[in-house]
Amino acid sequence: MEKINTVIVGQGIAGSLVAFMLHRKKIPFLVIDPASQHTASKIAAGMFTPLSGKRKTIHPLVLEQIPFAIKIYQEISQLLGQNIVHLSNIYQVFNSAEEQAALQLKSIEPVYSAHIVPILGALPGIHQQNGACEITHSGWVNCELWMGLFRTWLKKNERLLEASFLYQDLDISEEKLSYKGLEFQNIFFCEGYRAIHNPFFNEKIIPCKGDVLTIATDHFATDQIIKKNGIYLVPSENNAFKAGATYQWNNDEELPDNASKLWIEGQLENMLINSFSTIDHQSAIRPTTQNREVIIQQHLQHKGMCMLNGLGTKGVLQGPWWANRIVELCMHSASE
Ligand SMILES: Cc1cc2nc3c(=O)[nH]c(=O)nc-3n(C[C@H](O)[C@H](O)[C@H](O)COP(=O)(O)OP(=O)(O)OC[C@H]3O[C@@H](n4cnc5c(N)ncnc54)[C@H](O)[C@@H]3O)c2cc1C
């Protein structure tokens, strides 16, 4: 193996994006990840949209992050030889007359008018007594496919060590970092919620459990994302859909729970006119933070040690932007 410059701990969305940014810069790196089954990045529905939260606000930064993210996902698709990003408007069903009035009022404001648009024709098979609108500049990334293909690419290029990183085995000196005989200049920590065990950074990560279902139905077909009353339906492989999700803050229990399944199925009955069947149920822990701020940290004493974490509920949208920033920051200080 060639001499490596950077180690990345974790191959979720954060670690994979940092790895890709380094690949773009032709900087030799090694990813260390144990191939855990239940990770947020492997089960995420992968949706992105400029509108955020119940109040459907648009943060100005998001308008820069979305085109950047799309560009990066297209580049990754090219590298992996398979498309992972799908651009499509969200079909937003109004759950009440109040919600309809509030969004219609918003759609007149200049910032929102390009993002909240009337539907061209009603999608059949959906309860939509109060109507619907479309949210533009949205889409989804097939995270399961991406994580799997990217891992294969890392292996093929000898850029993956399949193991857990043991913090106590990292040697830190002024000139270099070393780990189990490897010497390198920089290390990026991207362990998701498991960074609660990281002894080098004191960032507060709040674990947020999320359950998601995969459902099949013979009565319904669309390549659009559908949202209604806090629940989404995202197209998935083999004409199935991902449906979710739940948000259980301060919960780090990784296994799926029946109450979450029943809740999602109840919401789906309120959305879909015809029957569906649940074919899979998964759950994992999102790494969230108090103010929903992404953690991009460079260690105060050791500039070569960085952390990218706290991607929360929006890893797909925010990840590329912040991965690019943290790599730029770290490489800039290395050249000083
Ligand atoms: C049900 C659900 C649905 C979601 N839907 C969406 C969505 O539609 N859109 C969206 O943008 N986001 C969504 N998310 C959120 C998204 O999944 C997260 O923002 C993102 O996956 C976080 O990525 P991460 O790389 O920080 O963490 P993780 O996915 O947790 O990855 C961390 C990686 O680090 C590894 N690791 C941990 N400790 C160590 C160690 N000591 N040594 C080596 N490796 C280690 C882990 O094994 C793992 O592979 C969803 C999440 C859930 C749970």
- Ligand 1 centroid vs 312 CA: distance in angstroms? 8
pLDDT in tens, 88-108: 999 999 999 999 999 989 999
Distance CA 80, CA 150 (A): 7
CA-proximal residue: ligand 1, atom 37 (nearest): 191
* Pair 12, 36: CB distance under 8 Å: no
Distance CA 331, CA 228 (A): 43
- Ligand 1 centroid vs 40 CA: distance in angstroms? 3
pLDDT in tens, 265-317: 999 999 999 999 999 999 999 999 999 999 999 999 999 999 999 999 999 99
Query: What ranges do the domains of the chain cover?
Result: 6-49+144-205+291-334, 90-137+206-288
Pocket probe mutation, ligand 1, options 214, 316, 326, max atoms within 8 Å of Cβ? 316
Full-prediction pTM beyond 0.95? yes
Residue 225 parent element (H or E): strand 225-228
Q: What is the pLDDT of residue 287?
A: 98
pLDDT of 1 strictly over 60: no
CA-proximal residue: ligand 1, atom 21 (nearest): 41
pLDDT of 256 strictly over 60: yes
**Mean of all residue pLDDT scores within the chain:** 95
pLDDT of 163 strictly over 90: yes
- Ligand 1 centroid vs 284 CA: distance in angstroms? 8
Q: What is the CATH number of domain 90-137+206-288?
A: 3.30.9.10
Tell the CATH superfamily of the 6-49+144-205+291-334 domain.
FAD/NAD(P)-binding domain (3.50.50.60)
- Please indicate whether residue 316, judged by its CB atom, sits closer than 6 Å to ligand 1: yes
- Ligand 1 centroid vs 56 CA: distance in angstroms? 24
289 — phi, psi (to 5°)? -130, 165
The reply to whether 6-49+144-205+291-334 and 90-137+206-288 are identical in fold is no
Q: H helices of the chain, where?
A: 13-24, 40-43, 60-80, 97-106, 110-113, 143-156, 258-269, 315-334
Degrees, nearest 5: CA angle 47-48-53: 100
Q: How confident is the model at residue 331 (pLDDT cuts 50, 70, 90)?
A: confident
Q: Give the residue-averaged pLDDT of 63-86.
A: 98
Distance CA 116, CA 94 (A): 12
Instruction: Considering only residues 121 and 18, tell me which one the structure prediction assigns the higher pLDDT.
Output: 18
